[in-house]
């Protein structure tokens, strides 16, 4: 049996214990989905908004002509990297993405993008 639902607010907090889950959402409207499967396995779609709420800003790693690379602490003390371009499309950066790997020159392993 699989239960699927869509929440139209970004997830601020998600906890899964046994067959129970607790979802705290923000007031901004976006789309996110939760899938609950048997055997007490909970899964949440980790979109851009999820990482905005679930990370702690560490600082700017490097500034490039094309944008900045910033470090964030993810909930299990893993460092992830956010690339934000200086070029904009309307009010937003052309790219605003999270990556799991940065070797000092190259970002890789895209997690999600806005």
Kindly report, residue by residue over 54-74, the tens digit of the pLDDT: 999 999 999 999 999 999 999
| Confidence (pLDDT) at 22 | 66
| Euclidean distance between CA atoms 114 and 31, whole angstroms | 12
Q: Is the pLDDT of residue 84 over 60?
A: yes
Looking at every residue in the chain, the average pLDDT score rounds to: 80
* One-character DSSP codes across 16-69: EETTEEEEEE-SS---EEEEEETTTEEEE---HHHHHHHEEEEEEEEE-SSEEE
Domain limits, the chain: 3-45, 55-113
pTM for the whole structure: 0.63
Cβ(42)–Cβ(36) below 8 Å? yes
């Amino acid at each position: 049996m699989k239960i699927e639902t869509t929440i139209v607010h970004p997830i601020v907090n998600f906890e899964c214990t046994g067959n129970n889950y607790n979802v705290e959402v923000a007031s901004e409207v976006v789309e996110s989905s939760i899938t609950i499967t048997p055997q007490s396995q909970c899964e949440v779609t980790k979109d851009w908004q999820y990482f905005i709420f679930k990370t702690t800003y560490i600082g700017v790693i490097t500034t490039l002509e094309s944008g900045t690379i910033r470090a964030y602490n993810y909930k299990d003390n893993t460092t992830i990297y956010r690339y934000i371009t200086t070029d904009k499309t309307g009010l937003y950066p052309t790219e605003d993405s999270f990556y799991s790997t940065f070797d000092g020159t190259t970002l890789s392993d895209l997690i999600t993008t806005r």
